[in-house]
Structure 1
Amino acid sequence: MSSVTSSSGTSSSASGSSAKLELDNGNSMYAKLVVGADGSKSSVRELARIQTTGWKYSQSAIICTVEHAVENFCAWQRFLPNGPIALLPIGEKFSNIVWSMDPKEAVDRNSMSEDDFVKAVNLALDDGYGPHPRSKSFEGGNVFSWLKADSTSSTHEGFELPPKVIKLASHRMAFPLSLMHANSYASKRLVLIGDAAHTVHPLAGQGVNMGFADALCLSKVIAEGVAVGSDIGEVCS
């Protein structure tokens, strides 16, 4: 795609107005509404000349896909001195790793051998970096427990460790972390959602949660507009 412009007379909308998308191959497409959901480096946002505001965090993230010996059904996150590490299931015996740390450590870990990196990931997810909940294995399962005490009583709770990583299933990539916020989410016949509209630190997966909320909100607004016969590409004042 090379440009996004407003056009008229070529769409099927009642008003005869549409957005025109000129593609790199010379073809053009028309739509009542263009949704920019193409990530933090959004081409739609850039072509629409929407400016952004933000800053860089003093951290980088290593991302990759890993394989387990068993299927991972849970998303896990552990908070370490230099930043959190997250293990995110993507189906079958595979998970994605998002590991935040200072830039120097990211360079060092990204250049590790595969075996050393896998060991470092398992150490970070399990019993490395300080205190670990006291645990013991029950027979017949990978379930752990520890005794939690407060000033009034003690309770016995279940605790489960993340599945071990056995090998990498993709290349590792490291990139600097930053906050970015589009100065405008919408203009005539165009709207931005997800990382195209805003990016945040990957802590606790809030970026993807906001993206889901964006999609839900946009779908409701479009449905309401269709229900009352309004032009979904117009910006409401």
Structure 2
Amino acid sequence: MAALMCYLYNETKFKEAGRQILKECHDVRFCAAKNEYGSIKHIRRKFNLQPDDWSLIMISRDPVDRFLSGFVDKCIRKPKGDGYCNGCGRNMTCFLISEYNRIKRQIEEDRFPRTFDDRHFFPQSWRCNLNQERQRYNVLHYSSDASGAFLDSLIPHLQAQQVPTSSIKFIRDQLSDGRTVHSTVDSSARQFLEKRLRSSPFLMEYVVRIFYSDFKYFKFPLPNGFQ
């Protein structure tokens, strides 16, 4: 979504620089510090906006899919070191138990630091001031399944904001041309861990406990056996 907004921020420069929406990532991004803000409050303050002045869109992902993608990408494919992934390395059981305990501890202490692990693995429903502004967000579901359903839900919002047809075509073509640089869905590690996770009621219970608010708020079905 950040890459898409970067393209719309300055379409001409984005194209002239030879950038591709699916190739943008946090470490190499065209709009770094240009159209990025740390909070909704920051945006409203900068542009002197009232709460209803802008339309808010949030992209959400099935919690199991999101966890597996993040774990494979951050803890297996590109591990940061001993201090990351809850100090568990590639051990998914260790990670899930540690993450659940971290969440409980932060709730009890009412203290929420933004560590690397927290940003990538904490519930999405904890972000973007959703505890106060849920009714203002249009939530779009994203999936690893390349079915086009996400694009079909996104494009009407672009049209409603009068994004030119040519720009929408560029976005559609770009997003239909493969996967992001972080994609893990076709990797053998992802397939192995997904089979292990979904076949373990013990591990799935931790996933449901951690992401229960995401399942409910974003209207994703709970896994089999947890309905």
Q: Scaled by the length of structure 1, what TM-score is found?
A: 0.21
Larger Rg: 1
Higher strand proportion:
1
Q: Scaled by the length of structure 2, what TM-score is found?
A: 0.21
Higher helix proportion:
2
